[in-house]
């Protein structure tokens, strides 16, 4: 991945110099969970940051930025609120249990505000993200080792090569959100008890925990209702996913700013979506967040966040790389987010 080059190259440059690239008033790094033990439902998706490395990331960011709450984001972006250093707006996606157990205590200790973006369909462990189901299946394939036997229907689907664990796992991860029944059939055939896992491990926060986090001063934001890939949805469903999740937050957690973070990515979101929210109903939300890293935005109502779970690089290298990558993109005119018309 080309970005990796910038992560490495940025380590050679002074960080303060890098932060001047683009003159960003705000950066918005985001994580999913922080834990010493990588749970099976995440293991095959992305690296998990340890509490020690997370605290190190935070200490580094506190040196260079001023942490702000969700309510301050529009004020900083619009210039109504001026700060002596760039602002740091921290958020965490998907509402995993580690938010309450690990992340919130560290943030409270350091006095850093944050938003937890949640998906109502998973709160209280009613269901889990299809990617997590895939990770659980991949985990069971690894555990089976030489005893792994591909279910017959997957061999029919993918051919004889599916007998091999490596090929089987590769094909498993090509299945998308619209193929959840196939993912669940594979889990069933391999004896992976998804419901049992939800009940015993309880990967997600409960509504009670969310309400308690809000009482402690954290913000709860919407992360779509069921975490689909928006590019695969018709525009009406994209809009409904946003509106239903914002309504859910409003109904269940009082006095929250209306923050929405796209699940996966905002890439491929339809022109009609932006017409609906930016032109026709701008009052229905405060800020929307993508995951594309540092970019010049066409509207103060949209902010791109920075994914922080890249190998074990840490904040210095990831943020430095983002600035350098932005500077390189600016040279070739690819540093702006454009809204489809």
Q: Which stretch in 38-46, 85-93, 165-173, 203-211 sits in contact with Zn ion by CB under 5 A?
A: 85-93
Nearer to Zn ion, 8 or 244 (CB): 244
Of the two residues 224 and 256, which places its CB atom closer to Zn ion in the complex? Answer: 224
SS3 of residue 49 by DSSP = strand
Question: Does 98 interact with Zn ion (rule: CB under 5 A)?
Answer: no
> CB under 8 Å to 247, separation ≥6 — which residues?
none
Q: Of the two residues 94 and 322, which places its CB atom closer to Zn ion in the complex?
A: 94
Nearest to 203 by CA among 131, 142, 261, 265: 131
- Enter the tokens of residue 43: 């293991």
Q: How many residues bind Zn ion (CB under 5 A)?
A: 3
Least distance from C-beta 102 to Zn ion, angstroms?
18
Q: How far is the CB of 123 from Zn ion (least distance, A)?
A: 13
Q: Which stretch binds Zn ion (CB under 5 A): 161-169, 175-183, 239-247, 259-267?
A: 259-267
In the complex, minimum distance from the CB of residue 233 to Zn ion, in angstroms, rounded to a whole number: 15
Q: How far is the CB of 227 from Zn ion (least distance, A)?
A: 6
As measured in angstroms, the least distance from the Cβ of 117 to Zn ion is: 7
Give the shortest CB-191-to-Zn ion separation in angstroms.
Answer: 27
Rule CB under 5 A: is residue 93 a binding residue for Zn ion? Answer: yes
Half-sphere exposure of 297 (CA within 13 A, CB side): 22
Stretch near Zn ion under the rule CB under 5 A, chosen from 56-64, 100-108, 188-196, 258-266: 258-266
CB of 176 to Zn ion, least distance (A): 15
Cα–Cα distance, 55 to 62 (Å, whole number): 10
Provide, rounded to whole angstroms, the least separation between the CB of residue 93 and Zn ion.
4
> In the beta sheet, which residues pair with residue 67?
88
C-beta nearest to Zn ion: residue: 93
Q: Report the residue number, 94 or 243, with the smaller CB distance to Zn ion.
A: 94
Which residue, among 160, 144, 140, has the nearest Cα to 152 in the 3D structure?
A: 160
- Assess contact for 57 and 314: CB atoms under 8 A: yes
Question: Binder to Zn ion among 263, 293, 320, 321 (CB under 5 A)?
Answer: 263
Lookup result for tokens 């018709």: 234
Alpha-carbon distances, residue 258 vs 74, 115, 228, 284, 287 (angstroms): 11, 11, 20, 8, 7
- What is the Cα–Cα distance from 116 to 99, expressed in whole angstroms? 8
- Out of 57, 72, 94, 98, the only residue in the binding site for Zn ion (CB under 5 A) is 94
**Spatial CB neighbours of 158, under 8 Å, sequence gap ≥ 6:** 167, 168, 171
- With respect to Zn ion, which residue has the nearer C-beta, 18 or 306? 306
- The pairing of strands 66-67 and 87-88 is parallel
Contact window for Zn ion (CB under 5 A) among 49-57, 90-98, 142-150, 316-324: 90-98
Q: Are 339 and 304 in contact (CB under 8 A)?
A: no
Question: Considering the rule CB under 5 A, would residue 113 count as an interface residue with Zn ion?
Answer: no
Supply the DSSP symbol for 277: I
Give the interface with Zn ion as residue ranges (CB under 5 A): 93-94, 263
């Amino acid at each position: 991945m080309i970005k990796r080059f910038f992560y490495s190259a940025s380590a050679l440059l002074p960080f303060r110099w890098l932060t001047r690239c683009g003159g960003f008033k705000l950066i918005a790094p985001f994580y999913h969970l922080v834990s010493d033990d990588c749970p099976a439902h995440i293991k095959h998706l992305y690296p998990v940051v340890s509490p020690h490395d997370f605290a190190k990331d935070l200490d580094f960011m506190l040196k260079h930025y001023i942490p702000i709450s969700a309510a301050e984001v529009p004020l900083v972006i619009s210039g109504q609120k001026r700060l002596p250093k760039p602002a740091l707006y921290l958020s965490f996606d998907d509402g995993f249990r580690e938010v309450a157990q690990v992340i919130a205590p560290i943030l409270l200790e350091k006095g850093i505000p944050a938003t937890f973006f949640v998906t109502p369909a998973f709160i209280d462990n009613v269901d889990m993200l299809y990617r997590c189901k895939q990770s659980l299946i991949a985990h069971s394939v690894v555990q089976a080792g030489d005893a792994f036997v591909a279910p017959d229907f997957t061999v029919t689907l993918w051919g004889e090569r599916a007998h091999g664990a490596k090929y089987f796992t590769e094909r498993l991860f090509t299945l998308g959100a619209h193929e959840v029944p196939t993912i669940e059939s594979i889990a069933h055939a391999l004896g992976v008890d998804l419901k049992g896992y939800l009940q015993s491990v309880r990967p997600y926060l409960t509504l009670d925990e969310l309400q308690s986090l809000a009482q402690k001063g954290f913000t709860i934001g919407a992360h779509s209702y069921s975490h689909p890939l928006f590019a695969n949805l018709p525009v009406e469903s994209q809009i409904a996913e946003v509106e239903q999740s914002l309504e859910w937050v409003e109904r269940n957690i009082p006095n929250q700013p209306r923050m929405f973070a796209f699940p996966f990515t905002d890439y491929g979101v339809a022109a009609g979506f932006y017409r609906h929210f930016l032109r026709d109903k701008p009052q229905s939300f405060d800020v929307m967040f993508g995951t594309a890293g540092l970019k010049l935005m066409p509207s103060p109502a949209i902010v791109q966040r920075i994914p922080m779970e890249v190998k074990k690089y840490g904040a210095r290298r990831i943020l430095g790389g983002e600035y350098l990558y932005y500077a390189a993109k600016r040279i070739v005119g690819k540093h702006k987010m454009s809204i489809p018309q």
